[in-house]
Structure 1
């Protein structure tokens, strides 16, 4: 009898990573009946047409906001029970989106007392096994998160397994708790390679899959997940990077974007809401190109981040010579508002393959680029300013480069961080003259964070699902 699996998807980029990059197709070949649940009012027609069939059912599930006490417990527990460079940064750094109640944001930024009190509590709480066990006990015992709609699907279709694709997302936790009450096995993962060190996981699955060795160490040593319940699988969306059949010629791809195949291409990727001023750095690079200030004539492709893709941040670069502004499908379906089609995924991969230099500010594009051994420059200036004011202090380094996952990148030397326009121009010129510069360091970065890059990450995911 065919097995039934429930999959939770809370971001459109997870739709890409899991449903479009091989995992869904492999599960179908294994004969599973598959139910995919989204936190939404309804499923868009384009998604139904693309993914739903006799084996795959797409289901919209609505949930309510967490109770105030539950939110408080989650905030205190997830933020202070794990000590990483990311959580350390968070207790000292208050961004523009930080919500404050007892103190003004200005006081919190300027005060030396409150951040240090937070830091002391972080150090103490993150070492307490009692607090960690109590947090997870209370999460399950006091906040069961029972939903009639979710219970209906469990009772009606009796799943053999629940696959959660974002371990700390609300919908995922709801499904994992319901599965535990019914004795059904759960497998989970973080929604992205960079989120495992961000917060203490409030509810543990039966099995946890991670993208690389640094993530495994955090899962075992800091998230307190038993080592025998953690496996490295790689990054499923990178499976496509081994597909030679989707690579177009340089001439075909660049001409389709109005670019010159004979000129080196600088790929500039925005960091979105985390780098609200990085478009100015792209505009500066364009000025260097247009004024022939680089060692070679070049061209530029800019790509917005899904968090602010609807803001037209690169409008000043549109219709300029030797510049292409990348586009992709924007949708209001899930909170990330981005859902690339297969054609857009192929287009993005070809841009990575044919670009000559990648420039971004602490973005996952660094890993995308290193898969193709492209020279990578990380911007350490001009992307973020205190209080969101261009006249304020430049806090690009503080806000972006003091996180755990970014340290994993920079420690390899595979991406070069630049802290001024002068350093950026010099680094671009160095890579134009010698693209192989730092190739050994990029190999270390690739091995450390991208795992095997053998096109079989999705196979490893499905193998684990099959063994439970």
Structure 2
């Protein structure tokens, strides 16, 4: 069995969590080969080898012009076929952020092509034929896998040629959807893998309705990233969590889960606002702010706020060694016991502040109140460039409509 682990957070979910152990506990025990750019990390390789798991490198190669054109057509056809509001917003955002001469002509041409009587399935077949998979031939011929398990079903470019290689060499593919929004909010369609594992019935319906999967090919397995929360292992106490960052367990703890710049470009301004509110007593003079830095965010942006009294900055991730082409910010993975540390943060914080992220769901597991940032640092931004876009996405509507989180507008 091939197990694709393309990014740092997938290491925690697939290679170091209960998922891999469940595979290895199966009888007969499968031979598992982890395919990852982090085969360059000797610590991870040694850790896997102690479990009798091989690790083979894969490299991020940019797709050719033809593959990019077909992928763009597939994305637009997905929008036209699905009618999803979130996908349209994401498409419009990409166009606003990347303006160049000739874009209007290209948009018109792509719109005309997408209205031809050619199905998405046919375009997928074109994409499979023009994708160069020669770099994977030796890998498949050496190990002769019966199954390829992927972390994104094609959302990350690194997995696209791998999935097409499996199809080319007659190997079944199974996508494990690790996110709750991938099927309904990305201007990119999942590849037609043979099987898909999703969190819940809502996502199963999305896979069938929007992505054309046969119902019996989509399995509801629960939220795999949350398995660690229900494993029965104890999480750090409030005192232990606070001691690890230097905070006082007797004082209120507000945790801000930061966002990468592409999501919210001025998260440091939110830290400044909250720190000032604590300092002048508008929030609570005894309150503490824990800035939990996203793995794709830069901790040095917030270093100036860390005072060891009111504000504490924490990025509990380690950076893995990676092969060429793998993005630097995708190489961060939670430190040892990282999921339990995150669980403790969600459980022991008095309130979680975030940007419509998955930590909303994780905080709800521990019945911790959540406040979403719903305002922009710059005025009058168009919706696709505003943080308000997330509160229009279909997957987040249940949170907004039920009042599961307060949106600070």
* 1:374 corresponds to which of 365, 368, 372: 368
**Where does residue 403 of structure 1 map in the other structure?**
393
**Deviation per residue, 1:32-68 (Å, 9 max, x gap):** 111011146x521221232223620111122532110
Deviation at 1:22, TM superposition (A): 0.7
Q: 1:203 aligns with which of 169, 191, 196?
A: 191
* Matched residue, 2:46: 49
1:303 aligned partner:
292
- Give the corresponding residue for 2:350: 356
Query: How many residues are paired up?
Result: 395
TM-score, normalising length: structure 2: 0.87
Q: Deviations over 1:108-167 (max 9, x none)?
A: 8xxxx999x79x949x959x8843232122122x3243224x221221221121111111
* Unpaired stretches in structure 1, ≥5 consecutive residues: 420-468
Cα gap change, 1:33 to 1:386, in 2 (>3 Å): farther
C-alpha contact (below 8 Å) 1:211/1:235 kept by paired residues: yes
Partner of 1:12: 8
Distance 1:286 1:212, change over 3 A: same
Give the distance between the partners of 1:394 and 1:206, measured in 2 at CA.
33
Q: Distance in 1 between matches of 2:383 and 2:144?
A: 56
Aligned partner of residue 245 in structure 1, secondary structure: coil
Q: Quick check: 2:254–2:287 contact (8 Å CA) kept in 1?
A: yes
Map of 2:406 onto structure 1: 416
- 1: CA distance, partners of 2:170 / 2:311: 56
1:187 and 1:218 map into 2 onto residues whose CA distance is 17
Q: Find the aligned partners of 1:316 and 1:393 in 2 and give their Cα distance.
A: 31
Partner of 1:445: none
Residue deviations 1:55-94, cap 9 Å, x none? Answer: 2011112253211011011012124323312221134335
Give, in whole Å, the separation in 1 of the partners of 2:2 and 2:134: 16
How far apart, in 2, do the equivalents of 1:370 and 1:363 lie? 12
1:331 Cα deviation after fit: 4.0
Q: Secondary structure at the match of 1:93?
A: helix
Q: Provide, for residues 409-453 of structure 1, a one-character-per-residue CA deviation record: whole Å limited to 9, x for no partner.
A: 32332111110xxxxxxxxxxxxxxxxxxxxxxxxxxxxxxxxxx
Contact 2:178 2:225 in 1 (8 A): no
Structure 2 match to 1:185: 172
Q: Which residue of 2 aligns with 1:344?
A: 338
Structure 2: unaligned runs, 5 residues or longer: none
Q: For 2:344 and 2:16, how far apart are their aligned partners in 1?
A: 17
Aligned ranges for residues 48-67 of structure 1 at < 5 Å?
48-53=45-50, 55-67=52-64
Change (3 A) 1:129 1:409: farther
